[in-house]
Amino acid sequence: MRALLALEDGRIFEGVSFGAAGECTGEVVFNTGMTGYQEVLTDPSYKGQIVAMTYPLIGNYGINTEDSESRSLWLEGFVVRELSTIVSNWRSETDLDSYLKKHNVMGIKGIDTRALTKHIRTAGAMKAVMSTIDHNQVSLLQKAKEAPDLVGRDLVIEVTCTSSYEMPRQNGPRVLVLDFGVKYSILNQLFQAGCDVYVVPANTSIDEILKFKPDGVLLSNGPGDPAAVGYAVQTIRALLDIGTIPVFGICLGQQLLGLAMGGKTFKLKFGHHGSNQPVKDLATGRIEITVQNHGFCVDVDSLDKNKVEMTHINLNDHTLEGLKHKKLPVFSVQFHPEAGPGPHDARHLFGHFVDMTKKYQTVNV
């Protein structure tokens, strides 16, 4: 079935539909990972976006239950150069085409993803529409222009859990996770580190959080514009005012933490999406290859340097990748240390967080 991808600046790509038929809109971004398409599909941080994979062959190892990063698929559409007709992996339970159909997600194959990626790198991420039912380019261009913008839009409330839940208890540090769109890999890393993990909705109040008597709070990843999630910023600010509960922010969690500490965020030209982003640890000089998925960033110059210290920097564009408070037990990173999938260079950060919770356990009794 013929399908079109129309960008708001007038660029049109024609391909063949797979997955669900119909029409969808979203911001077009590209992911540079060579593997991990199932984790991309199930990452809540992609809510509101149409994702193009730069690796040319996608779907060759199929889909399996274990590799899902959340309870559903969140992206608006999926773009590939070539969809593999052969699934070859002993863990596979179904193929990519059937998986997208089951979850009503549109896919388009056969387009020049290299040309699309180069265009986004030059012009920036932009709104777009994918359609199998409307092939009128004038109509599609208008739909792309009228599609909802990510800036100023709260997408967290659309992906967060609706009620609190917990993982099996291990009599370890009590870690409360504010779910802005958390990936299962993050929860699994905390569990493997021996934590008792409690997950609560993004709009949970500070009073409700304190009822859990947490030894630490993790601010999860999530989609969209951090400035639109004001309720979370207020809650985080209240946590910082307490001053004795360790806080660890990941991705959107760092952006919200930056806002809570008085900083500002800005939108990147085309974002960081992939499993091969080089980051420098400024304390050790060590270079870590990291997994990333974000379109916004904290403006390091907007932070009070008497209180906040930059800990990591992106070597591609020199944007902020990590920070810590100079007096409080608070730190964060813009990348994904759980690395699901990807390099494991930064997983040690979970150990650092757990050690911090143990150190402050007696303080918070």
Contacts of 142 (CB under 8 A, 6+ apart): none
- Surface-to-core class of residue 281, CB atoms within 10 Å of its CB (0-12 exposed, 13-18 middle, 19+ buried): middle
How far apart are the C-alpha atoms of 153 and 348, rounded to whole Å? 33
Please give the order of strands across the beta sheet that includes 264-281: 165-166, 196-201, 174-179, 216-219, 247-250, 330-333, 320-325, 308-314, 264-281, 287-299
Cis amide prior to 337 (ω within 30 degrees): no
Catalytic residue check, 251 = yes
Catalytic residue check, 336 = yes
Among 103, 105, 126, 202, residue whose Cα is nearest residue 158:
202
Where do we find the tokens 């809109």?
25
For residues 341-350, one letter each, b for 16 or more C-beta atoms within 10 angstroms of the residue's C-beta and e for the rest, the string is bbeebbeebb
**Which position among 69, 251, 312, 325 bears the catalytic label?**
251
**Which position among 273, 312, 325, 336 bears the catalytic label?**
336
Give residue 353's identity as a one-letter amino acid code: F
Task: Compute CA 127 distance to the chain's CA centroid, rounded to the nearest angstrom.
Answer: 18
Give residue 253's identity as a one-letter amino acid code: G
Q: Which residues are catalytic?
A: 251, 336, 338
